[in-house]
Structure 1
């Protein structure tokens, strides 16, 4: 207690709390959602299994904490995604950029469906084009064109970030840009806060 008093009077005081944002993370099974989030939290990746419902992780960054609600990507779970959108301030979509044509088409349809939902259609979104370390990975230009990201966004702010679990710096860079978008929107709404 004496230390805290000393810091408050003689130093800069305790560090200010980091802003927290609630985001929803979606993508097909096998896209790498759990692996990426687990590594961001510096947790062991030894026993990762596909998410069968949803999980929530508080992912710490230097200037913010993202409370990430990761939704399972299996066929029988995707139809329930919209039940978990409420309260989200942003969307993270993880894509297996080396997936089959059929899975890529399914991912495209799921992304379009999610971003047209009334609770998500105005939110900023981050697309992590995962598995860029695989030979069959599609380029960002191919993904951008195939997913029709420009017309899909319709004024939404978005980021398309190449990544892999082998290059967590790229993942952190994507999230850093995403947090900047969240902060911009947060600043725009400050006058209306109570």
Structure 2
């Protein structure tokens, strides 16, 4: 919750950010990039929604997980557990994934390397293709660039795993 999924998605779609409210269920948006259009299913992070996440996994080609890198230890642990659970689901366990360590502009933000260690991404990935990137809605050029890299990862099965 409050990781910034809706804000990042709205900014990627060039929508105004003045009326952004947390996603209470799910939303689907077509996000245009120069080399592709990504159909993104945004799943709300509220506790009463999480039990329904798996209903939206079918047909997925990749996973984008947004976390608040400046959150409390308790919230970060909950995000870690959610990521591990999702990436072990049969419909997601072989897919490439992108982790956005959002809110890098906040003083308490953990670095991508700290997130990598805390989330135990090396053992979790087990040879899967993945990207971990620090992000902020203040630096959308970087967000767009990492999505362009993720699109290449989705298209290229020979890309070596892991990139930070």
Query: TM above 0.5, one fold?
Result: yes
Structure 1 residue 185 displacement after superposition: 3.3
TM-score by length of 1: 0.80
Q: Is the 8 A contact 1:161 1:170 kept in 2?
A: no
Question: What does the per-residue CA deviation read over 1:136-168, in whole Å, with 9 as the maximum and x for residues that have no partner?
Answer: 000111100000000000111000011100000
The residue number in structure 1 matching 2:108 is 136
Question: What does the per-residue CA deviation read over 1:103-153, in whole Å, with 9 as the maximum and x for residues that have no partner?
Answer: 000000000000000000000000001000000000111100000000000
Query: Which ranges in structure 2 are unaligned for 5 or more consecutive residues?
Result: 159-164
TM-score by length of 2: 0.94
Query: Which ranges in structure 1 are unaligned for 5 or more consecutive residues?
Result: 1-28, 187-194
Given the alignment of the two structures, is residue 175 of structure 1 paired with residue 147 of structure 2, yes or no? Answer: yes
Given the alignment of the two structures, is residue 50 of structure 1 paired with residue 22 of structure 2, yes or no? Answer: yes
The residue number in structure 2 matching 1:34 is 6
Measure, in 2, the Cα distance between the counterparts of 1:33 and 1:164. Answer: 11
- Tell me the C-alpha RMSD between the 2 structures: 1.0
In our comparison, the structure showing a higher alpha carbon Rg is 1
Given the alignment of the two structures, is residue 82 of structure 1 paired with residue 54 of structure 2, yes or no? Answer: yes
